[in-house]
Amino acid sequence: MNRQHQFEIERQVSPNSHFLYLKGELDLARAAELRAAADPYIAETSRSLVINLKDLQYIDSTGIGVILSLLKARHVLNAPITVEEIPPKIQRLFDMTGLTRFIQQASNEVN
DSSP for 10-63, written as a single string: EEEE-SSEEEEEEEEEE-TTTHHHHHHHHHHHHS-TTSEEEEEEEEEEEE-HHH
Give the other-Cβ count within 10 Å of 106's Cβ: 22
Q: Is the pLDDT of residue 110 over 60?
A: no
This prediction's pTM: 0.89
pLDDT band for position 102 (cuts 50, 70, 90):
confident
- pLDDT value of position 2: 38
- Per-residue pLDDT of 13-62, as tens digits, reads 999 999 999 999 999 999 999 999 999 999 999 999 999 999 999 999 99
